[in-house]
Amino acid sequence: MVREETVFGPIFSRRLGSSLGINLLPVNGKICTFDCIYCECGWNKDGHDDTRLPKASEVREALEAKLKQLVSEGTPVDSITFSGDGESTINPDFPQIIDDTRALRDQYYPSAKVSVLSNATQVHRPEIFAALRKVDNPIMKIDAPTNALVQKINKPVSDYDVNRVVEALKQFNGDFVLQTMFLKSKDFDSSSPEVFNGWMDIVRLLKPREVMAYTIDRPTPEVGLLKFTVEEMRALLNPLIEEGFNVQIKG
Ligand code: SF4
């Protein structure tokens, strides 16, 4: 089960390059508004030993110390990436932390991108959307096109409405990255018409500047999940590629 420090890495990411991670969730726990069947952090119920969220001042301090160290070592940083053990945007200091991170990026690694991996459950909140608008790569998750299907794969822990998320994402006017997990479970199949056709409609409506399609890479809390091969995903996504969408496939 993955547990990250507040600032971790850098790790190499095929898409983001040398990526310095920021975890705005507890160091020894997981807190998320989803409880995805494929989450590499495990189930929410297994991650509640630690519920303390780092404050903006702590994140700023830890990030500056790490950036100073990396500069002195000559280590490249291509992206400062908010990921970690849960959903970053539920940290109450998220908007302040984004402002601080951009300022530190400008000071230490001006060419690095600021990226946020988010499940998009909070994007309807104006202050969260405004913060996400300031980052270079807002990478927002939609795995399924209906609330019933989202229940099967993402298991939201509070009120969730995929239509509300889609409406909120429209505000980006396509200037965001859509991230989608492709898998098969006992009652969910990303390639089935009920999932895939509705999901493609959402892509066509939102016109994200990039679609990141990925599949299972690490042990999952639900057993028996099946991954897709790169070839299968490419065949599946070909209609969108032919329509001109920028689709990145990660096997
Ligand atoms: S949104 Fe991400 S962190 Fe949250 S449960 Fe799903 S995979 Fe895990």
The domain 7-250 belongs to what CATH superfamily? Aldolase class I (3.20.20.70)
Q: Residue 55, SS3?
A: coil
Token code pair at residue 207: 């016109």
Residue 87 beta carbon below 6 angstroms from any ligand 1 atom: yes
pLDDT digits (tens, 9 = 90+) for 69-95: 999 999 999 999 999 889 999 999 999
Our mutation pick for probing the ligand 1 site, out of 24, 33, 34, 180, counting the most ligand atoms within 8 A of Cβ, is 34
Whether 98 has a pLDDT exceeding 60, the answer reads yes
Q: Which atom of ligand 1 is nearest to the CA of 44?
A: 5
State the pLDDT confidence band at 59, using cuts at 50, 70 and 90: very high
What's the confidence (pLDDT) of residue 141?
98
Band the pLDDT of 1: cuts 50, 70, 90. low
Query: pLDDT by residue (tens digit) across 208-248?
Result: 999 999 999 889 999 999 999 999 999 999 999 999 999 99
Kindly state if the Cβ of 41 falls inside 6 Å of ligand 1: yes
The verdict on whether omega for the bond into residue 26 sits within 30 degrees of 0, i.e. cis, is no
The span from the CA of 70 to the CA of 103, in Å, is 17
Any atom of ligand 1 within 6 Å of the Cβ of 88: no
Residue 138 in contact with residue 176, Cβ under 8 Å? yes
pLDDT (tens digit per residue) in 153-202: 999 998 999 999 999 999 999 999 999 999 999 999 999 999 999 999 99
CA 107 – ligand 1 centroid, Å: 31
- If you measure from the C-alpha of residue 197 to the centroid of ligand 1, how many angstroms do you get, rounded to a whole number? 23
Give me the residue spans of the domains in the chain. 7-250
pTM of the model: 0.96
Task: Say if residue 68's pLDDT is above 90.
Answer: yes
Q: Whose CA is nearest to atom 6 of ligand 1?
A: 36
> Average pLDDT, stretch 42-50?
81
The minimum-distance atom of ligand 1 relative to the CA of 41 is 8
> What is the C-alpha to C-alpha distance for residues 222 and 102, in angstroms, rounded to an integer?
37
Q: pLDDT tens digits, residue range 122-163?
A: 999 999 999 999 999 999 999 999 999 999 999 999 899 999
Q: What is the pLDDT of residue 2?
A: 61
**Average per-residue pLDDT for the chain:** 95
**pLDDT for the residue numbered 30:** 87
| 36 pocket-lining for ligand 1 (C-beta < 6 Å) | yes
